[in-house]
Amino acid sequence: MRDIEDAFGHAAHDYAQGDTSVREFVERDDGLIELSGGPAAYFASFEEWPAYQRRAMEYVQGRVLDVGCNVGRVGLYLQERGHDVVGIDNSPLALSIARQRGLRDAREMALDSVDDSLGRFDTIVMMGTQFGIIGDPVEGRKILQRLNRLSGPGARVLAESRDPYPTKDPDHLVYHQLNRDRGRMGGQVRIRVRYRRYATPWTDLLLVSPTEMREVIEGTGWASTELLCGDKGMYVAILEWRKRR
């Protein structure tokens, strides 16, 4: 990622330097612009996490792949608990901060570039709606199949997403229909993140209902076995490894 595209990293860097006025925005391809949760969430301590996220950590076992690790919020917590953690992200600045904070193995890597050079994993953590970075159902299934090959019996994915449909906001309802008219899933949002003069590349983020998640993972070697629910449609699905036929 080029420096001018590293909006996440620059927002996190300025916040880490003491600028608590940092504001990060999410721009959608229909022109909607909204304020994001911002860097404060990236640095939140375990005690500050929502209850459903804290409970999700009880399902972590063995060697961990932390997808979209950002500044190391989840990876550092699990590392302190004794897990061998590999964190991946595409933000060079965020990864630099994660390393400075003590994350031992933080790599600049996109999810669709993950391969067996990283070794095998017992848990794949996709927290903070990071399940959505699979992008779309077709390519996403290929990614999930690859993750299945990098793990084995007993392995889990902690897949966090947001059900986009429980809303009365007309901007969102119109966008859901626009997506369907374009042959996309209703919650397949095309966005970029902006901070000051920095803007990430446009990318698809796939937000799904629990039912849609089960449809997306079908045939990938994963099965949704439990749902940990939070507020405003947020949830973590616990996906268990199944042998692919």
Model confidence pLDDT, tens digit, residues 12-25: 999 999 999 999 99
Mean pLDDT of 21-37: 95
Instruction: Give the mean model confidence (pLDDT) for residues 35-45.
Output: 92
Supply the pLDDT for residue 11.
97
Other beta carbons within 10 angstroms of residue 85's beta carbon come to 27
- pLDDT level of residue 88 (50, 70, 90 thresholds): very high
pLDDT digit string, tens, across residues 147-170: 999 999 999 999 999 999 999 999
pLDDT at position 43, please?
A: 95
Q: How far apart are CA 172 and CA 67, in angstroms?
A: 27
Q: What is the pLDDT of residue 216?
A: 97
Q: Over range 173-197, report the average pLDDT.
A: 97
User: What pLDDT is attached to residue 245?
Assistant: 58
Q: Is the pLDDT of residue 36 over 70?
A: yes
- Domain positions in the chain are 48-190+200-241
Range 48-190+200-241: architecture per CATH: 3-Layer(aba) Sandwich (3.40)
Residue closest to 10 by CA, chosen among 202, 195, 200:
195
- Note the pLDDT tens digit of each residue in 62-79: 999 999 999 999 999 999
Q: What pLDDT, on a 0 to 100 scale, did the predictor assign at position 243?
A: 81
**Is the backbone of residue 58 left (phi > 0), alpha (psi -120 to 50) or beta?**
alpha
Q: Measure the CA dihedral 198/200/202/203, to 10°.
A: -160
* pLDDT score at 38: 83
If you average pLDDT over residues 99-127, what whole number do you get? 96
pTM (two decimals): 0.95
Q: Which of 154, 151, 156 is nearest to 123 (CA)?
A: 156
Instruction: Look at residue 208 in the predicted model and tell me its pLDDT.
Output: 98
Mean pLDDT, the chain, whole residue set: 96
The mean-pLDDT minimum among 25-34, 36-45, 56-65 falls in 36-45
- Residue type at position 218: E
